Structure 1
Amino acid sequence: MAGIAILLDLWRKNQSFNAGLYSARTYQSTQFFSASAAATAATFAAGSSFASRALFGSQVAYSDAGAALPEDYISNIQSASERVFKNHALQYSTKQYDVQLKPLFSAFELRTFALTSLRSFLMYYLPLLEPRVNMEDDDDSLEDNQEDRHVDLVVPFKKSVIQIIRESTVVTTRRILERIAVHYVSQRMAWKILKDVPQSAARKAGRQMPTLVYIYCVSRTTFRGHMLGVAASWIVQVGIDLYRFFTSGFKTLQEDDDEKQVGVLAQRVSVAAVRCISSLIFASIGAGIGATLIRPSRGQWIGCAVGDLAGPVIVAVIADKYFHVTL
């Protein structure tokens, strides 16, 4: 037993020397283990003979002192070690961001393509169904009205087809931008850009936020989620303007016309940028207000759609009224 006590004493001295080389967290766990070892040594020493106590009195006395440590001290060391371990785990914990990409040609799926076609045809054929009231009863006016009733249905059909192609191109361009964002930005930022905004608004509603804070959070999330769609729309519009510029440039080879066309192209690009920025800003604000007034997910979608349509109109009216600029 005396040999065990000597070995424990040497081990404790070695541990106290190495404790100065470690951090404060390792030092606390070492002290706790040393106290446990001292209590164990005291137990062995208590069962040893009287001769061994007389021969190794100093070691046995030190072990008895270690065994007399209060339980509160040991419990405090345990709680401190637990707190250090929890803080360490929280500091190095990583959050998994599940980034889900939609198919590249999702615009040509049956449901999406059917809704796009229906919306495009209604956009150009509904104005043709407006009733025309005849306020005069003259024969000449009746004959003129009968001639005006002949409506050309080919032009709206061509415009509808062009609108379908344009919207499908915008959606496909957005899918390409999403894949570029996943490869060239961080996973956290890609997750924020590609997250489902209506579901995010519903989750935020369950956190019982104040109204202004909730509107701000939903608007910020909508801004991030709607950003790639607006960028895709701007890219497609600029591509159309460039196509018109080059096709018209081949037809007219005069220098004066080229300079005018460059100025017109720059104006169109800037106007498209202003419209897209205004659409993004008003869509974000409308999404936050709509999520507050109506159900979070549905209100966010409705507010985003309304702001997307009303934003360019509002900016165009303000520019025309106060700055005399036509957008």
Structure 2
Amino acid sequence: MTVGVALLLDLTSRLPRAGASAASAAAHSHPGLSAAAFAATAAAAFSSSGVPLSARHLFGFHGFTVAHCDAGTTAGWNDGSDELVNELNTKILDSMQYARKDYFHNTTKEYPSELKPLFSAFGLKNFTITTLRSFLLYYLPLIQPKPHTDSEDEDDDLLHDAQEKPVDLVTPFYNSVKQIMRETSIVTTRRVLERIVVRHVSQRTAWKLLKDASKSSKRKAARGMSTPQYTYCVARTTFRAHALGVSAAWVVQSIIEVYRCFIRKPSDDYESDDQFFDMNKFRLFGRKIYGITIKSCFSLVLASVGAGIGALVHPVHGQWFGCALGDVAGPIIAIIVFEKMQLPL
């Protein structure tokens, strides 16, 4: 209807010149027609914008109203339109300022994934530390003080003969070499798992699995967390960061058990070859994998708990020491617990 009124006014304006002034004066002499013309024109322009009348409330437009009043009053927007426009402008300006402030204070978090070299275990520093630790592990028990006795009984002669037996230095050497190969294999396997994680999981998950737990503990210590929350956060971060290392150790140990159960020849301890070549080897392999899995789970959980407790002493060194101590104590505690519960492990 508003469009029709606008068309009628347009046709009226196109009348011949003789009656143009009279028609125009007649059309605009009445305030109601003037208001109707203004409202019709505005409504036609708004309808041409493509927004249907039934959906204008969704866009915040409440339409136009016509002031049905006496002469001397002009039609226009609703009462308080100036306040509405000012309020809308204020809201837009405030939202822009808040967005700008939120961008500078809470910038988008980045997840950098720093991959170490694939054969970092064979670097000079790492390989030297691994070698020294392995040799000390098996050769230190040989360096023990001899028991001193003052008695001159016959038992002393037997003890003296036993002490003069040659010390076996070959077996500890073989064990040390095996330990070096095992540790370097675990580190290399972890590097392979890190590359698989970066390639096949999200960037955020890969960052959590590859982050340095000690540095993360130091950053958390500067946030002023409460003691329970700080301990929980450090333990959770250590659990994620230490998961790949435990997984790598599980993979390497499982491969070793595959070699022992299916490839290596049976030793003399077996009563017959049937225990090696029969279906019992699958049962033996299953028990070995079961025990490795239980020990790995205990190691991961206790390493996380130890890191959370150690971080209370020192954010960096305490976290590292607690993680290492829990990692070593995990398999031992698992054996003790299963022996107390009389369960096979």
The 5 Å alignment of 1:132-151 reads 132-138=146-152, 140-141=157-158, 143-148=160-165, 150-151=166-167
Please list the CA deviations of residues 189-217 of structure 1 after superposition, one character each: whole Å capped at 9, or x if unmatched: 11111111111111111221121111111
Query: CA separation in 2, counterparts of 1:17 and 1:264?
Result: 76
Q: CA deviation at 1:121?
A: 1.1
Q: Structure 1 residue 101 and structure 2 residue 118: aligned?
A: no
Look up the SS of the partner of 1:157 in the other structure.
Answer: helix
Of residues 80, 88, 101 in structure 2, which corresponds to 1:77?
A: 88
Matching residue's letter, 1:179: R
Of residues 263, 266, 290 in structure 2, which corresponds to 1:270?
A: 290
- Which residue of 1 is the match for residue 15 of structure 2? none
Look up the SS of the partner of 1:115 in the other structure.
Answer: helix
Question: What 5-or-longer segments of structure 2 have no aligned partner?
Answer: 1-37, 63-71
Q: CA deviation at 1:304?
A: 0.4
Q: CA deviation at 1:181?
A: 0.9
Range with greater deviation from structure 2 (253-262 or 198-207): 253-262
Range with greater deviation from structure 2 (135-144 or 258-267): 135-144
Query: CA separation in 2, counterparts of 1:88 and 1:169?
Result: 50
Q: Greater helix percent: which structure?
A: 1
- Is the CA contact 2:303–2:324 (under 8 Å) kept in the aligned structure 1? yes
Range with greater deviation from structure 2 (300-309 or 81-90): 81-90
Q: 1:245–1:23: structure 2 CA closer, same or farther, 3 Å change rule? A: farther
Matching residue's letter, 1:300: Q
- Which residue of 2 is the match for residue 205 of structure 1? 221
Q: 1:75–1:101: structure 2 CA closer, same or farther, 3 Å change rule? A: farther
Q: CA deviation at 1:183?
A: 1.2
Matching residue's letter, 2:304: S
Query: CA separation in 2, counterparts of 1:244 and 1:113?
Result: 26
Query: CA separation in 2, counterparts of 1:264 and 1:165?
Result: 24
- Which residue of 2 is the match for residue 300 of structure 1? 319
Of residues 281, 297, 305 in structure 2, which corresponds to 1:261?
A: 281
Identity across the alignment (%): 42
- Which residue of 2 is the match for residue 228 of structure 1? 244
Matching residue's letter, 1:266: G
Query: CA separation in 1, counterparts of 2:219 and 2:128?
Result: 31
Q: CA deviation at 1:114?
A: 1.0
Matching residue's letter, 1:80: K
Look up the SS of the partner of 1:131 in the other structure.
Answer: coil
- Which residue of 1 is the match for residue 310 of structure 2? 290
- Which residue of 2 is the match for residue 3 of structure 1? none
- Which residue of 2 is the match for residue 184 of structure 1? 200
Look up the SS of the partner of 1:96 in the other structure.
Answer: coil
Look up the SS of the partner of 2:207 in the other structure.
Answer: helix
Q: 1:22–1:96: structure 2 CA closer, same or farther, 3 Å change rule? A: farther
- Is the CA contact 2:298–2:330 (under 8 Å) kept in the aligned structure 1? yes
Q: CA deviation at 1:17?
A: 3.8
Please list the CA deviations of residues 95-129 of structure 1 after superposition, one character each: whole Å capped at 9, or x if unmatched: 43211111111111111111111111111111111
Query: CA separation in 2, counterparts of 1:19 and 1:210?
Result: 57
Question: What 5-or-longer segments of structure 1 have no aligned partner?
Answer: 1-5, 32-56
Please list the CA deviations of residues 61-81 of structure 1 after superposition, one character each: whole Å capped at 9, or x if unmatched: 53xx699854x5444213433
